[in-house]
Structure 1
Amino acid sequence: MTIDKETAQAHTTAADERSFDDALILAIETSCDETSAAVIQGGKRILSNVVSSQIDVHVRFGGVVPEIASRKHVETITLIMEQAVREAGCSMRELSAIAVTQGPGLVGALLVGIVAAKSLAMALDIPLIGTHHIAGHIYANALVHELRYPCMALVVSGGHTELVLLESEGRFQVVGRTRDDAVGEAYDKVARALKLPYPGGPHIDKLASQAGHAMELPRAWLEQGSYDFSFSGLKSAVLAAINQTRMKGLPLDEAALARGFQESVIDVLVVKALRAVREYDARQLLLCGGVAANRGLRAALAARCDEEGIELLIPPGNLCTDNAAMIGAAAHLKLKRSQWTELDMKADPALPLESWSVTACGTVPC
C-alpha cells in the first residue's frame, strides 16, 4: 500500500535531503525465530547487522513454537534496534526510513517487528517501508554482487522453495513453487526421523558428507515442463526405508540415507533451476535462503553452472539465513522510488511476492 504523492514528497524533503545512494535505512526482521535489526546505506553498504537467534530455545521442541518466538521477539526487539544503530555509528535522527518484514512469516512474530517499526517511523516522522521476506532473501545477493537483469533466483528455505524471475530491478515473477513441503521443512522432518538435532539441514549435510555411497531414493520431477517442486514423497520414501530396515532388524546406514536424500533434493533443484535460466534467457542464477548455506547444494550448483557457463551468485552464509540487512537491501528499491507504506499496514503471513514488485513509474501515485 502506498500513500499519496504530496505526503510522499513531504517525507522525502523532511527525512532524506541526501541522495538515495547515501540514505540510511534501519531494517527490522522478525518473521520467524531470529530477531534482527540492521542499518543499510544506499541499499548496499552494511553498517550493522545484528541477529539474535532463538535456536537454543526451540531446539528442545524440535521446531519453532510460534508463541514462544513472539515472546522472545518482544523481549529483545528494542535492544537489538538500539545495538544496530549504535554499531552503525549513526543516530536515530540520521535515519531516512524504517523498513520491516511485512510477510510472509509467523503472524505473531511479524507483528512484533511491525509495531516497533511503526512506532519508530511515527516518532521520527520518516517513511515506513513494509518489505517482503523473500524479496529480502533475493536482494541479499545485491549486498555483495552486482545483479544483471533478467536473472533467475532459486529460493530455498525452511518455508519456501521457489524459482523467481527478475525481469528488471524489483520486478518479480514466480515461475515455480513447492506444492507441499518446502526443502528446509523436508530436511527438518528427515533429521527428526534420524533423531538428529534441530535445525536439521546442517546435520543432514554433515552426515551426508561422511557417506561412502548414497542410498537410492526417488526424484519428484512432476509433469513435463513444470518448474514446481514436491518433496513430501521423498520424505515418505525416507521414512519407509527407515521402518523397513528396523523391521528386518538390520543396522541403518544413516550416512548413506542422508546422502541419498540430499542428492535427490539437489538433483531436482539444480536441474529445474538451470532449465529455467535457459528458458527465460536469464543472465545470472541467484541462490537465496537459509538452505543456500548447504554445502552439497552450493557445490553441485557451482559445478553445473561452471559447465554450462552460467554466472552463479551466492551470498555468504550470514546473509543466507534470516537477517535484517537483506530487508534493508530490498526496501531501498521502494525508498528510491518514493513508494512508502501507510502506517495502518498489517502483517500478512501469506503476502504474495509479485504484489510487492516496484511500480513501473518510479514515483507514487502511478
Structure 2
Amino acid sequence: MKQLSFVALSRGIPTYPISLGSNIWQYVQGSLGRHYRSAADEFDSLTGDILCRNKVYSNELINRLGFPGVVHEVARNPDHAAKIAALIGYPVVTKPISAGMGKGITTSIDNPDELVAAFKLAASISPRGVIIEKYVKGTDHRLAVFGGELLWVMARYPARVIGDGVHSIATLIGQENLRRKGDIDKKAIMQDAAMDELLAKMGLTYDSVPAPGKAINLRSVANVSMGGTMEDVMPRIHPDNRYMALAIARAFRMNAIGIDFITEDISKSWRESSCAVIEVNQTPGVLCYIRAEKQLNRMFPSGNDGRIPTILLIEAPPRISQAGCYIITGCQSVCWPGNRITNFSRQAPQGEIV
C-alpha cells in the first residue's frame, strides 16, 4: 500500500483512509474516487473474495476450469497428515487453509518427522485443518490481473545469499540487508527458527562459509514480505499462460487478482509442462514503485490528478457565475440565490485553468 500511496501523493492525487484501522484507502474525490485495499479494489466480488481466501475452494474451481491445480487434502491431525503424505507421495507442502504472505507454509517436506513440525506450524494459524499438498518443482510466478488486463508477471525467489568463499552466512545476510536499506521494494532478511531449521536441513549454520557463487536459500517460500526478490518476466510469458490468468480472473469474478503459478519455464504453455496454479490472491500486492505507477495510471491516466475543478465567486453577478460554471463543466448550469453552482456534468478538459 505504501508504494501506491507514494505514487498518488507524488502526482498530487487526493489520498486518505476511509476509516482508521480498515486499511482501505480512497484515491481521488467524488464520482471519480476509488477504494483500494493493497491492490484490491471496489469492483471485486464478495463471492470471489470468499473463494480466494479458502485454498481448498479456489483449487477446486481451478480444476473445474480445466487448468492445472494441485493435488492436496485437508488433514485433521498429524497422524492424518502422515497418511495423506504417504498416499500422495513425498515431498509435500503444508499450509493453512486460509492465510496470506507465506504465513505457516513449509515446502519440500521429505519425511514424517519434518511433517509433524510443519503441521504444528500451519495448525497454529489454521485450527480448522491443514492442507497437505503435493510439492510442485519450479519457480513461483505471480500473475497479476487488473480490470481484465494482465499487468505484470513476476518470477519470485526465496530470500537468499550468494557465497563468496570468504564470509559466513550471517555476515552475508548482514551485507545483503545493508544493500537493501532504503530500498522500498525489498524487505530485510530476518533470522528466525524457521531459517535455523532450513539451514540445519542443508547441513549448514550461520557460521558456514558458502563457496563462491553458491546460492543459499534462506526461506522455503518465495514471498517478498519474507525477504524474497522478484524478476520481471512479462515479456517471456506464453500466450496460453496469459489466457489462463485472464480466464481465472473472470471465473473468480475478481477485478484485481494475483495468481501464483509454479512452472520451470514461463515461456512454455501450461499444456506442455509440469506446472500448477497453487494459489489465487484477492490482494495481488503492489510491492514496487514501477508496478504501483502502472496500476494507478490504469485508473487515473497521467496528467489527471482526479480533482474536481472548483471556482469560488463572492458577490458575483449571475452572468459571471453562469460563465464560470460553463467554463468548468461545459454545460449550462443553474445558479441559485447565493451563487451556488449545480449540475456539474463533466470534468474540465486538461489544461483548462479558471
Q: Please report the TM-score for the alignment, with normalisation by the length of structure 1.
A: 0.21
- Between 1 and 2, higher relative CO (CA 8 Å, sep ≥ 6) is seen in 1
**Whose Rg is larger?**
2
- Give the structure with the higher percent helix: 1
TM-score normalised to the size of structure 2? Answer: 0.21
